[in-house]
Amino acid sequence: MPAAMKGFPGFPADFFRFFEELAANNNRPWFNESKERYYESVVNPISEFIVCMAPRLKAISPHYVADPKPHRGSMFRIYRDTRFSADKSPYKTHAGVQFRHAAGKDAHAPGFYLQLAPEGLFFGGGIWRPPNPQLNRIREFMVDNARSWSRIRNARSVKDAGGISGDRLQRGPRGFDPDHPHVEDLKLKSLYVMAEAPADDALSADFIDQVDAAFRRAGPLNRFICDALELEF
C-alpha cells in the first residue's frame, strides 16, 4: 500500500467516552465547558481520519469529496435540528462523516458514509432519501438496466454486507409496474450498502482498512446511482 494511504492510528478512547458523557449531560452549559475536549477528542481525530481517507477515496472515485474542515466539510455538525422534534436535546450523541459527490449540495447526494457512536459503527455508501425527481430517475434507470442492477444487488460482496438496504414504500411507486421483478427494490426511498462493527473497532489502526473495504463494496452501487443521475464516477 502506498505510504500516502497509511497513518491513521485509530480514534482515541476518549472519543466514545465524550459521547457517553454527552448523552448524560445533553445541555449547553456542559457542552460549552467541554468544548476544548470536544475538539481534541472528536473533531481533530475525525479531521485526521478524513485526510487519511482521501487518497483511498480517490482510488475508488475521484469525484467524491474528502474535506477535513470542521465546518462545511465532510464532517456533520454536532448540533441537532430540533425545530420539528419533540426531543429538544441540542446535541447529537454520535459523529457522522459523509464523503459526498462533488456535484452534491447536501446529505441527499450520492456518497460514502461513516457513523460512530458508543453503541456501534456503520459505514458504506449509497444515497439517502434523494428528492423524488432524482429517486424516480434511479428507479427508471433500474427498470431500463435490469440486468446490470441484478448483477449489483446479487454480487457476493453486497450480499455478505447484508444486501442493499433502505427505508421503503409499502407499495410499489406510482407509475411503475407492480409486477416488475425488482419491485421490492423500486420501493426503496434510500439505497445503500452498509457494514456494521462494534465501537471498539474504531480504536484500532486497522479500522481505516475496514472502512476502505466497505466503501469499495458500495462502489458499484454508487456508480449505478451516478449513471442514473448522469454524474461522473
Find the mean pLDDT for residues 220-227. Answer: 97
> What's 159's domain CATH number?
3.30.930.20
Question: Strand, coil or helix: what is 100?
Answer: strand
Model confidence at 84, pLDDT cuts 50, 70, 90, reads: confident
Pairing of strands 120-127, 111-117: antiparallel
Q: What pLDDT score was predicted for residue 150?
A: 96
Phi, psi of 77 (to 5 degrees): -65, 150
- Of the listed ranges 37-41, 59-63, 70-74, the one predicted with least confidence: 70-74
Count the domains in the chain.
1
**For position 160, what pLDDT does the model report?**
86
Distances (CA, A) of 79 to 75, 76, 96, 207: 12, 9, 12, 26
- Whether the pLDDT of residue 119 is over 50: the answer is yes
Sheet containing 111-117: order of strands: 95-100, 111-117, 120-127, 191-197
Asked if the structure places residue 52 within a domain, the reply is yes
Q: State pTM to two decimals.
A: 0.92
**Above 90 in pLDDT, residue 7?**
no
Residue 177 and residue 92: Cα distance in Å, rounded? 40
Q: How far is the C-alpha of 16 from the C-alpha of 10, rounded, in Å?
A: 12
Confirm whether 165 is domain-assigned.
yes
Within a domain: 131:
yes
Mean pLDDT, residues 220-228: 97
Q: Is the pLDDT of residue 218 over 60?
A: yes
Residue 3 has pLDDT above 50, yes or no: no
Q: What are the residues whose beta carbons fall under 8 Å from the beta carbon of 177, sequence distance 6 or more?
A: 143, 183
Answer whether residue 233 is part of any domain: no
pLDDT single digits (tens) 162-214: 899 999 999 999 999 999 999 999 999 999 999 999 999 999 999 999 999 99
For residue 116, the SS3 value is strand
Tell me whether residue 139 is in a domain.
Answer: yes
Report if residue 63 sits inside a domain: yes
Percentage above 70 pLDDT, the chain: 97
Q: Is residue 61 part of a domain?
A: yes
Residue 5 has pLDDT above 70, yes or no: no
Q: What is the mean pLDDT of residues 54-80?
A: 96
Q: Residue 79 — pLDDT band, cuts 50, 70, 90?
A: very high
Tell me what percent of the residues of the chain surpass a pLDDT of 90. 90
Range of the domain at 208: 3-228
User: Contact at 8 Å (CB) between 76 and 25?
Assistant: no
Cell numbers 446535541 correspond to 91
> Is 1 a residue whose pLDDT tops 50?
no
- Pair 193, 164: CB distance under 8 Å: yes
